[in-house]
Amino acid sequence: MRRVITYGTFDLLHYGHINLLKRAKEYGDYLVVGLSTDEFNMQKKNKKCYFDYEKRKQLLEAIRYVDLVIPENNWEQKERDIKLYQIDDFVIGDDWQSKFDYLEDTTDAKVHYLPRTPRISITKILGDLKGN
């Protein structure tokens, strides 16, 4: 069984998120999603989520591509998670290009950067709603 992991905040879930999860799942049989906790999201982006961690977790667990949701509490845990869950492939959006290349040196996982879904982002949605 090939195991895949990805990470994100997944607030205001949209079809770009679903596309990322679907494409991530195509790399293997079992998809683990590291979901940023409210505290970590505030620390890394200085931003409060619209939906709290438990609601975002519930949404992700309802998606057929997702097999397991775990909390992402800090940047450093990725290496530990890959080893703990015996991950074969680490998948993340290409807006993080090259940031996680080191994981190929410190774990057995292969790192993949997937292109963003065109014309969709939370920033765009919020801007459109405001009429920008």
Backbone angles phi, psi at 17, to 5 degrees: -65, -45
Strand order across the 30-36 sheet: 68-72, 30-36, 3-8, 89-93, 110-114
> Do 91 and 66 touch, CB atoms closer than 8 A?
no
The number of residues in the chain equals 132
Catalytic residue numbers, as ranges: 44, 47
Q: What Cα–Cα distance (Å) separates residue 100 from each residue in 9, 50, 60, 68?
A: 17, 27, 23, 21
How many helices, marked H, and strands, marked E, lie in the chain? 6, 5
